[in-house]
């Protein structure tokens, strides 16, 4: 895993999350994991790229996609893509469970960060799982 890709429609909030991940006591984890932050532009992806294209790009570039709203609405949806193409070594997609709370509550955003680092530090345990939610459901 090389880093994190912010979904096109939540780049700003994920930039804030990454900033927090790179500061204070959290920076040690960022550095130890050797993470990079990527945007769609960095990878030549269009903001309206299909879920399949985004997922496939994440797999080939070894990036974790953080999203909020990709769902099972069409044959090339993220959920369908994962169902059809996910392999035991595939990187999971992280979905922020509640974007409204993420933007409004520092406590919720901190939980997202904590759970994300927990997953990232043990990423090999979660390969092949498809989708994981932030914060993880208790």
Per-residue pLDDT of 10-57, as tens digits, reads 999 999 999 999 999 999 999 999 999 999 999 999 999 999 999 999
Boundaries of every domain in the chain: 36-97+105-138
Alpha-carbon distance of 133 to 95, in angstroms, equals: 5
Q: What would the pLDDT profile of 67-77 be if each residue is shown by its tens digit? A: 997 666 677 78
pLDDT at residue number 47? 95
Contacts of 53 (CB under 8 A, 6+ apart): 45
The string of pLDDT tens digits covering residues 102-120 is 999 999 999 999 999 999 9
With the C-alpha atoms ordered 35, 129, 110, 97, is the resulting torsion angle positive or negative? positive
How much helix, strand and coil, in percent to the nearest 5, is found in the chain? 50, 15, 35
How far apart are alpha carbons 125 and 63 in whole angstroms? 16
């Amino acid at each position: 895993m090389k880093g994190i890709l912010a979904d096109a429609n939540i780049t700003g909030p994920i930039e804030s999350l990454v900033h927090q991940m790179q500061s204070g006591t959290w920076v040690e984890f960022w550095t130890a994991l050797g993470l990079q932050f990527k945007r769609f532009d960095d990878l030549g992806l269009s903001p309206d790229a299909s879920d399949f294209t985004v997922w496939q790009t994440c797999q080939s570039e070894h990036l974790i996609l953080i999203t909020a709203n990709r769902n099972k609405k069409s044959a090339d949806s993220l959920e369908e893509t994962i169902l059809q193409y996910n392999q035991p070594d595939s990187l999971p997609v992280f979905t922020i469970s509640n974007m409204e709370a993420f933007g409004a509550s520092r406590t919720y955003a901190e939980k997202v960060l904590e759970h994300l680092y927990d997953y990232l530090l043990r990423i090999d345990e979660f390969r092949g799982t498809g989708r994981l939610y932030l914060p993880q459901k208790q």
